[in-house]
Amino acid sequence: MGSVLVIEDEKGILGLIEAALTHFGHQVETAQDGKEGIRKYDRGRFDVVITDYIMPEVDGQGVVKHIRGSERGWTPVVGMSGTPWLMQEAGFDLVLIKPFPLNKIVDAVQQLCADVALPEAASRRPAEGPVMQQASL
């Protein structure tokens, strides 16, 4: 399974996502704001980054901008927000609209980790806009 960085300022949501991904065999590192998330991204190697959009310090747009500007190959970034219209041009590969069931994020991470393993992934960049998924509860 993959290595995932989850950046979320709400501890309850962060814990749920971490537990779900760990349950399915992923190695999960967490950060409680964008600034901490960027620090952890720069020090580690992650197959996927998941970030909330509205956070103190550095928001999700700042996180994705930092990742897209890094020297590394393509790292898929999943954005989470209750305000998805703010994220349309931000460079996310996928946007999950809060609230969403945990299986949506688990499925997305498993698919993106599989995509990262493909040889062409190193030169890949996100499409014209993120795929937005709204889950029914």
Grade residue 115 by pLDDT with cuts at 50, 70 and 90: confident
Measured CA to CA, the distance from residue 61 to residue 19 in angstroms comes to 25
Domain coordinates of the chain in residue numbers? 3-134
| Reported CATH class of domain 3-134 | alpha beta
Structure tokens at 80: 């989470």
* Per-residue pLDDT at 127 exceeds 50: no
Cα distance between residue 122 and residue 105, in whole Å: 23
- Whether the full predicted model's pTM is greater than 0.85, yes or no, is yes
pLDDT tens for each residue of 65-108 = 999 999 988 899 999 999 888 888 788 999 999 999 999 999 99
Tokens of 100: 């969403």
Give every CB contact of residue 127 below 8 A, 6+ residues apart in sequence.
93
Instruction: Write out pLDDT tens, residues 1-51.
Output: 899 999 999 999 999 999 999 999 999 999 999 999 999 999 999 999 999
What is the arithmetic mean of pLDDT over 101-122?
Answer: 83
Helix, strand, coil percent values for the chain (each to nearest 5): 40, 20, 40
